[in-house]
Amino acid sequence: MKRIFTAVLLFLLGFHAEPVLADGKGSTGFNFLKIGVGARQMAMSNCAVAVDGDVNSASYNPATLADVAQQEIGFLHTQYLEEIKYQYAGYVYPHSKYGAFGLTYHNVSYGDIQGYDRNNKRTSMLSPSDTAFGVTYAKTIRQNLQFGITSRYLREDLVAASASAYSFDLGGLYRLPGTQWWSKVAAGAAIRNMGTKATFITEATSLPLEYDLGLSYTDWGGRLVGTFEMRKPTDGNLGFAMGGEVTTRRFLALRAGYRSDKDIAPNFTMGFGLLFWNESLKFDYAFVPYENLTSVHRFGVTYRFGGIAKRHYKEGIRLMRAGRFADAILEFDKVLQQDPNHYMAARYMKLCSDQLKKEE
């Protein structure tokens, strides 16, 4: 398995759909693909390549979508700089045997812009926009190894010219085996935005290809998460980012992040999450300051329902968050009796068992 994962990492970090030589930031097309999706992930400086997945994970590392145990539907709204608005919606359906399937929709609207003709006379208002539709598939190949792929249809409408393209992302996630502290470490890798060139009238432009490699550490029964990532976009320099999350025993998650490769934004981000209805409903918020421009506030809502994780799984999560690890193990065991392929129940059971050993 180590050889397989090593080969995958080399593939992800060394494969090019085509040679790309970029002149600097903004030299590629469809740059809206660089905008972070989830409010949770954005609060952690977009560190999500090696973190347990949710409905927003397909935009970071599609392999992490295999972590999702219930059906999830998510929505995000961002009032971006000036009149720019960013909207996102996603849905994921996990199957205990065939893997997880996801659908995503991205839209960026740039507000209304006054149009002019060749004689400098006003015409109708113009509304440029960017849109992407995505399909994701993720699968746990072995207990510690996951793979995923995302394919997207992209369209950029600049009113005077428009173009479309197809892109896809590849990702892998590997969790170290064993019962020692290192078994709480996960390594993730992803290559994002591979695909076809887009042509505006007569000029062709490449997609913003990016390579990501990350490590994460999870402890306290899943209530503490720390992650570190390296990123190399083809139109920029190598950068790194780190993020963290602490979830209380009740309903609050606190998050913060730092990135080195800032553009017009400061290095730090922060935010929080609120959990309701036994974690079936989640509200996330991220605050991203932009120095002299303005501050960006991101609001996301996620709802979990049905699927393979039912009453016992939800109860196990609640008990684990409350620090009642022995009771949580009993609930996760009931889930595994009904569904032996429930990977997340097995993983959380192990986390609870490790925590009990620490307390002895």
Q: Tens digits of per-residue pLDDT, 275-321?
A: 888 778 999 999 987 766 677 888 999 998 876 556 677 778 778 76
Average pLDDT on 8-19 reads 43
Average pLDDT on 155-168 reads 84
pTM of the model: 0.80
Amino acid at 292: N
Pull the structure tokens for residue 199.
Answer: 């042509």
Q: In degrees rounded to 5, what are phi and psi of residue 66?
A: -65, -15
Looking at residue 14, its pLDDT comes to 45
Give the lowest-confidence range in 6-10, 89-93, 103-107, 314-318.
6-10
Above 60 in pLDDT, residue 19?
Answer: no
Helix axes 325-338, 343-359, angle to 10 degrees: 160
Looking at residue 16, its pLDDT comes to 42
The separation between CA 334 and the C-alpha centre of its own chain, rounded to angstroms, equals 30
CB 287 within 8 A of CB 269: yes
Decide which of 2.40.70.10, 2.40.160.60, 1.10.287.130, 2.40.30.10 is the CATH code for 2-14+50-307.
2.40.160.60
Looking at residue 87, its pLDDT comes to 92
Q: What's the mean pLDDT when you consider all of the chain?
A: 83
pLDDT in tens, 45-59: 999 999 988 999 989
Pull the structure tokens for residue 157.
Answer: 């409408």
Q: Greater confidence, 280 or 185?
A: 185
pLDDT in tens, 73-102: 999 988 876 678 899 999 999 887 788 999
Looking at residue 2, its pLDDT comes to 46
Q: Greater confidence, 181 or 276?
A: 276
Residues 267-300: b if buried by 16+ CB within 10 A, e if exposed: eebbbbbebeeebeebebbbbbeeeeeeebebeb
Other CB atoms closer than 10 Å to residue 120's CB: what's the count? 6
Cα–Cα distance, 113 to 304 (Å, whole number): 39
The band of 24, judged by pLDDT with boundaries at 50, 70 and 90, is low
Looking at residue 222, its pLDDT comes to 79
Helix axes 311-321, 325-338, angle to 10 degrees: 160
In this structure, the dihedral spanned by the alpha carbons of residues 350, 255, 279 and 49, taken in order and rounded to 10 degrees, is -60
Looking at residue 55, its pLDDT comes to 93
Measured CA angle at 232 (ends 219, 155), to 5 deg: 105
Average pLDDT on 231-259 reads 90
Looking at residue 177, its pLDDT comes to 78
Above 50 in pLDDT, residue 22?
Answer: no
Average pLDDT on 108-125 reads 75
Above 70 in pLDDT, residue 31?
Answer: yes
Find which of 181-185, 287-291, 329-333 is predicted with most confidence, using mean pLDDT.
Answer: 329-333
Cα–Cα distance, 186 to 50 (Å, whole number): 6
